[in-house]
Amino acid sequence: MTDQPPLEATAVDLSVTLGRLSLKNPILVASGTFGYAREMLPFVNLAELGGIVPKTVTDQPRAGNPTPRIVETASGMLNAIGLDNDGLDYFLANHLPWLRTVGTSIFVNIAGEDIDQFVEMAAKVGREPGVAALELNVSCPNVSHGLDLGVDPTLIRSLVERVRYVCPHPIVAKLTPNVTDIVGTARAAYEGGADAVSLVNTFKGMAVNWRKRKPILANDIGGLSGPAIKPLALRMVWDVSRALPKLPIIGIGGISSMNDVFEFLVAGASAVQIGTATFADPSVSGRLVEQLRETLLSEGLQSVRELIGTLKSNKS
């Protein structure tokens, strides 16, 4: 009888695919929570991550919204940063060259004021080497135009179709949860040619100082993230995965532990993005990569792909 190798010696395949996009593992960091990644060098081995999504860039530099623009809430955080960034040209000339050297997949996240501007920006990014994917932010609740595109399936489909025409990189649509039918907007992105969707961006919310009779945020409203939104995000991932089984999903929303990661994977996500948890623990994303391998071994699994989409309804 041939001796079996010990469990610890068994190779574990952490790689995942999302349409045309291949990642070394499913642990990504979310836009707006990881800066331009240089800031995180003391805390995370960037090369171990499945991918990095730097902060959203707009066509022109933005100072963002006035302060206060972040407030902690029960089990979450409200932010109204307002897409503070250096602008696309500066990003491509100064940040992207360094990001190409860090040893993992780089997603460029862009936000335009209308479809034409999205297309112009996508064309610029499309000419750049060393970009794994283009993530379209059509879902930021903290700028005046932030939800115009993201709540209209017709506009989402048109945007993705036009962007795909000018940009050869895989396209990921980051969708808003602030709609009555997340499947409808995801379907529009899929029909437009998106390689994947990111589910979900923040939920519109507010915090109030009742003594002053004023909202706490200078912008009045902000985007809610963190553990408070995880059950909602999980439900949306599951809804979309069941309705559109061929559309790869990147799950986002309150992920801070390996159990959270696995819950999103079995619900139908092929990868996840770590966001608000990074503020509390800047090293969390790197630690999750290490724990992913260990947990798969302990469960007797040889590939992370064995988990994806395996959730079964109690009603079936």
DSSP 273: E
Give me the catalytic one of 28, 122, 132, 140: 140
Cα Rg, the chain, nearest whole Å? 19
Residues 255/264, Cβ–Cβ less than 8 Å: yes
Rounded to whole angstroms, the Cα distance separating 247 from 296 reads 24
Which distant-in-sequence residues (6+ apart) come within 8 Å of 63 by Cβ? 82, 84
Q: From the CB of residue 68, how many other CB atoms can be counted at a distance below 10 Å?
A: 15
DSSP letter at 65? P
Burial level of 315, CB count in 10 A (0-12/13-18/19+)?
exposed
167 is catalytic: no
Residue 19 and residue 270 in contact, taking contact as beta carbons nearer than 8 Å? no
β pairing state of 171-174 and 196-199: parallel
Side-chain half-sphere exposure of 193, counting CA atoms within 13 A: 15
Q: Which two tokens stand for residue 11?
A: 């190779």
Closest CA to 304 of 312, 294, 296: 296
Answer yes or no: are the C-beta atoms of 199 and 250 closer than 8 Å: yes
Instruction: Return d(Cα 213, Cα 208) in angstroms, integer.
Output: 7
> In 3D, which of 229, 224, 167, 236 has the Cα closest to residue 197?
236
Active-site residues, by number, are: 140
